[in-house]
Structure 1
Amino acid sequence: MHKTANRPRTSALPPAVNTRLAHGVAAASGTRGGDESGFHLMHDGLSAFVARAVLVEEAEVSLDLQYYIYSDDICGRLLTAKLLQAADRGVRVRLLVDDLGTRLVNPWVSALANHPNMQIRVFNPVEGRSGLRRSLEQALDFGRINHRMHNKLLVADGLVMITGGRNIADGYFSNAEVEFLDVDTMAIGGVLADAAACFDDYWNHAVSVPVTELLLADDEDYSLEKLRGHLQAHLAAEARSEFHRALEGADLAQELAEAQVHFDWGAAQLLADPPQKATDPQSLAAEDFPAHQLKKALEQCRERVQIANAYLIPRQRGVALFEGLRRRAVQVQILTNGLGTTDEAVVHGAYARYRKPLLRSGVQLWELRPIADQRRRLHWFKGESRASLHAKIMVLDRDWAFIGSLNLDSRSVLRNTEIGLLMHCPAINRQLHDLFDEWTAPDCAWQLQLNAERKLRWHGRGEQGESVTVHRDPDSTLWQRLLCRVLGRLPVESQI
């Protein structure tokens, strides 16, 4: 598609030394071995945003960012301004985004890419940036375009990384009409080398195309000086926003420097699809995919499995996997979105077919309620929003845990590229277990059960604390239920 012969290959720079962040990470690591990693969970949206912004501010050598969605909204522009400031002080910045999730039609991107310390690439792009040409190429080259980079990764100075479910957009950080419940982990230690190598594999892949090969000629009218002015005006306009207030009031930079951030330590395995999954999946073995590795981890469980995932389409193999666990008396509990919280009607329609088989096998199943986590959000933001589950976490027995970008559907398993951390750490396991219990409380989620006639019933708690039973998909309209029923009959399960 694009010429790669003259495209420069770059690699992760060595980790920073003798910097404030380096001293803090060294102090936090103590005398631990090089193979161990430290983990710090972030399930509050504002804390997750602050962590990213602070790492960008603290970086002195390099910043590598890889995201499916990087939006031009409040948090996106704030982070962009800080990336530009980092580049201005000499930090090498590499930003890799997916073409479908991040439409790079903003002309300011060209100015950003012209900075000598900043490089921006687009994964698996469509050559037409807008209009008919783009739509035509998507139709004619659907086999290629249908594979997307769903990864979420930030690596600062080769010392600290953040991965999990969050994209760069207001909704993932608690400021939108729909608030995504999600989880990230900040990590230090041995896993950083694997994260750096993984980013390099994607960055140097043939379908990671510099934006300078994609943007339109008239974008050259936008200079770095104009961009700095544009971003400064934005920062001034948003000076009273919740994001600004949270960042100004944060002590995270000082806490990182003084090793006051608590990290739980253990072994970690970075599970990441090779970038070839998006271009030549037939050349890869099943063992190369995170979904296969997670399946093996699930099969080894002896006591409990707790899963919170935005999209659940287990197919027959997944149902069989859970049935096998139940036959061995392993407790299986799953939380996913309900019809009132999902953002994908066709996915819910496909998932709905598996509710009864899962319940019959003994799986405990919950669906998130739109009112979930509302009280915590109102501490910062005015007005109410509808909750939607976006997290992809697993609690495995009492010592293993997974956090990543992998949905439990065919698109994540077979088509999109994904990333996540599989951690052998009882403390992280306990924290995610507690979070799962919080998210599945009766005022946050509906528990599904089959009555004596094998009909679905949803059980929860009312506004006065009373027990409530609903006989059809709660928090939904007749039109939504009819639409999902129709969409659920379409033969598209392998594509979603």
Structure 2
Amino acid sequence: MTTSLKPATDSRLAEGIRDAAIGKSDKLSGFYLLDDGLSAFVARAVLIEEATVSLDLKYYIYEDDSVGRLLTSLLLKAADRGVRVRLLVDDLGTRVVNPWILALDRHPNMQIRVFNPVEGRSGVKRALEQAINLGRINHRMHNKLLVADGLAMITGGRNIADGYFSKSSVEFLDVDVLAIGEVLPQSGQVFDDYWNSVVSVSVSELLIADDETHNLEELRKRTRKLLDDEAGSEFTRALEQSKMAAELANGDIPFRWGKARLLADPPEKALGKDDIPREEYPGFQLEEIIRDSKERLNISAAYFIPGVIGTDLFTGLEKRGVSVGILTNSLSSNDVAIVHGAYARYRKKLLQAGVDLWELRTVAGEERRKKWFRGESKATLHAKTFVMDHQLGFVGSINLDGRSLLWNTEIGLLMENTQVNQQLHELFTDWVAPDSAWAVKLSDSDKLEWHAEDEDGNPIVEHKDPETTLWQRSLSWLLSWLPVESQI
């Protein structure tokens, strides 16, 4: 059992955060939104490079790709200079089979654990384990959290993989928040609760192939080569051109200040315990906050299946005069057909009540992506944001579907600040613009229509799910009839 270390006090990061907090109450937290992939990558890299005491990370997905290898290389360098590193990953989201992981875990300053692991690492044994223990394995750790030196944290929607940081054939539109101040002890406690949970298992106890060639010295050589190979890459250029390290050290990051609550499921949720009070679930807490909305509610959710309860909630708010707008994926930008099928059942009722619905276009953000990366990529929405009235904003990992609310463990930051609220509202407005999203409407004959604009600003109207084939539409419709809504 290990717990969070005391925050650093005499580092550049510590001094910069003290400067940023001058004149601010110690009961407030500072917020800085990271709404594009490169900034989100740079922020993580900078915190890892600036850390002097501890780094705690937990992620649903941690890929062995460009971003994953770069950040792992930086984590290894941090451990080599004496920083304690704890990394917790989910076993289904992150396939822990790479033998180099054992080498990392043998580092005296690094510990790696797997949340709710499946016994078999691969093949038939793993499949059998999943089938036999489906009740337990169905609960996944969907959290995303990085805590540096007990002084700064990043949470939001992004996993560690190329697509979340603008380098993939599919780019995820997403947002994170960098936070400092009063909320940090909350983040440390949440991490400790998960790290010390009975379902968090050291990688050394898992069945990973091991041999003497996979050792720390060889890993350091690979790391040096990787960093040399990445010299001049988009990520390296972004890091080199970024002023964030200096701005953090000088207290110049334009943090917005206000009260904050870190909403997180208890790790015991993974055990399916029925005795966990519903009030401890972030989804329930958000629902109660949403019910108090007076003027506006903007939601972006990659997966949106409101169900009867959610539909009644949103239509009820519209009846009270609250302007409700929801952005989710279109069938063409969604990566799970069954999710779209389940969501589609509720579109008409929401629209009839006056709720505004948008579905992301695959071309969203194309010009911004071309600024840094050659080639084209398909956009898909991955953000989970809530804008409530003019004061509250939420950024996290929570989708509005049964899987997030009932099965997975989730996390997110509720922020009370008018400027952050407005930034999230402006981001939402940008995402639902006609060149970025389809506005779903009802025709005079009560049929669904999709409205957008082409690159010249000319109106486009579609009468079936845009950019899809008959097979995609048919499959989504057929899957919508399966009685599994609470599982997806």
In the aligned structure 1, how far is the partner of 2:274 from the partner of 2:267?
Answer: 12
SS in 2 for 1:95: strand
In the aligned structure 2, how far is the partner of 1:439 from the partner of 1:259?
Answer: 31
Which one is further off, 307-316 or 456-465?
Answer: 456-465
What is residue 292 of structure 1 aligned with on the other side?
284
Q: What is the CA distance between 1:281 and its match in structure 2?
A: 3.0
Asked if structure 1 preserves the Cα contact closer than 8 Å seen for 2:387 and 2:421, the reply is: yes
Q: Which residue of 69, 76, 79 corresponds with 2:68?
A: 76
Which one is further off, 208-217 or 345-354?
Answer: 208-217
Counterpart check, 1:486 vs 2:453: no
Counterpart check, 1:302 vs 2:310: no
Q: Which runs of 5+ in 2 are unaligned?
A: none
Q: What is the CA distance between 1:340 and its match in structure 2?
A: 1.0
What is residue 224 of structure 1 aligned with on the other side?
216
* One-letter identity of the residue aligned with 2:134: F
What is residue 180 of structure 2 aligned with on the other side?
188
In the aligned structure 2, how far is the partner of 1:220 from the partner of 1:129?
Answer: 20
Asked if structure 2 preserves the Cα contact closer than 8 Å seen for 1:405 and 1:418, the reply is: yes
* One-letter identity of the residue aligned with 1:144: R
1:29-44 mapped onto 2 (5 Å cutoff): 29-44=21-36
- The TM-score normalised by the length of structure 1 is 0.97
What is residue 163 of structure 2 aligned with on the other side?
171
What is residue 413 of structure 1 aligned with on the other side?
405
Asked if structure 2 preserves the Cα contact closer than 8 Å seen for 1:37 and 1:267, the reply is: yes
In the aligned structure 2, how far is the partner of 1:464 from the partner of 1:194?
Answer: 48
In the aligned structure 2, how far is the partner of 1:237 from the partner of 1:490?
Answer: 48
In the aligned structure 2, how far is the partner of 1:240 from the partner of 1:472?
Answer: 44
* One-letter identity of the residue aligned with 1:337: N
What is residue 5 of structure 1 aligned with on the other side?
none
- Provide Cα deviations, 1:269-318, integer angstroms capped at 9, x if missing partner: 11000001111331201100000100011010100000011000000000
Asked if structure 1 preserves the Cα contact closer than 8 Å seen for 2:30 and 2:179, the reply is: yes
1:150-161 mapped onto 2 (5 Å cutoff): 150-161=142-153
Counterpart check, 1:20 vs 2:12: yes
Asked if structure 2 preserves the Cα contact closer than 8 Å seen for 1:111 and 1:220, the reply is: no
What is residue 3 of structure 1 aligned with on the other side?
none
- Provide Cα deviations, 1:436-456, integer angstroms capped at 9, x if missing partner: 110000010000111111100
Q: Which runs of 5+ in 1 are unaligned?
A: 1-8
Counterpart check, 1:326 vs 2:304: no
Q: What is the CA distance between 1:218 and its match in structure 2?
A: 2.8
In the aligned structure 1, how far is the partner of 2:387 from the partner of 2:237?
Answer: 34
- Provide Cα deviations, 1:423-468, integer angstroms capped at 9, x if missing partner: 1110100000101110000010000111111100000102321111
Asked if structure 2 preserves the Cα contact closer than 8 Å seen for 1:68 and 1:98, the reply is: yes
Asked if structure 2 preserves the Cα contact closer than 8 Å seen for 1:110 and 1:220, the reply is: no
What is residue 113 of structure 1 aligned with on the other side?
105
1:280-429 mapped onto 2 (5 Å cutoff): 280-429=272-421
In the aligned structure 1, how far is the partner of 2:449 from the partner of 2:210?
Answer: 58
SS in 1 for 2:210: helix
In the aligned structure 2, how far is the partner of 1:271 from the partner of 1:281?
Answer: 19
In the aligned structure 1, how far is the partner of 2:194 from the partner of 2:275?
Answer: 17
Asked if structure 2 preserves the Cα contact closer than 8 Å seen for 1:113 and 1:211, the reply is: yes
Asked if structure 2 preserves the Cα contact closer than 8 Å seen for 1:308 and 1:391, the reply is: yes
* One-letter identity of the residue aligned with 2:133: D
Asked if structure 2 preserves the Cα contact closer than 8 Å seen for 1:307 and 1:335, the reply is: yes
Asked if structure 2 preserves the Cα contact closer than 8 Å seen for 1:303 and 1:330, the reply is: yes
Q: What is the CA distance between 1:220 and its match in structure 2?
A: 4.9
Q: What is the CA distance between 1:238 and its match in structure 2?
A: 2.1
- Provide Cα deviations, 1:177-197, integer angstroms capped at 9, x if missing partner: 000000000000000000000
What is residue 250 of structure 1 aligned with on the other side?
242
Q: Which residue of 27, 43, 46 corresponds with 1:54?
A: 46
* One-letter identity of the residue aligned with 1:335: L
Asked if structure 2 preserves the Cα contact closer than 8 Å seen for 1:440 and 1:446, the reply is: yes
Asked if structure 2 preserves the Cα contact closer than 8 Å seen for 1:110 and 1:215, the reply is: no
In the aligned structure 2, how far is the partner of 1:192 from the partner of 1:352?
Answer: 39
Asked if structure 1 preserves the Cα contact closer than 8 Å seen for 2:102 and 2:210, the reply is: no
Q: What is the CA distance between 1:217 and its match in structure 2?
A: 5.0
What is residue 140 of structure 2 aligned with on the other side?
148
In the aligned structure 2, how far is the partner of 1:351 from the partner of 1:226?
Answer: 49
4+ long deviations beyond 2 Å: 215-221
How many correspondences in the alignment? 488
In the aligned structure 1, how far is the partner of 2:206 from the partner of 2:252?
Answer: 44
Q: What is the CA distance between 1:64 and its match in structure 2?
A: 0.2
In the aligned structure 2, how far is the partner of 1:103 from the partner of 1:232?
Answer: 24
In the aligned structure 1, how far is the partner of 2:354 from the partner of 2:91?
Answer: 41
CA RMSD of aligned residues (A): 0.8
Identical counterparts, % of pairs? 60
What is residue 458 of structure 2 aligned with on the other side?
466
- Provide Cα deviations, 1:373-422, integer angstroms capped at 9, x if missing partner: 11111100001100000000000000001000000000000000000011
Counterpart check, 1:275 vs 2:267: yes
What is residue 210 of structure 1 aligned with on the other side?
202
Asked if structure 2 preserves the Cα contact closer than 8 Å seen for 1:310 and 1:389, the reply is: yes
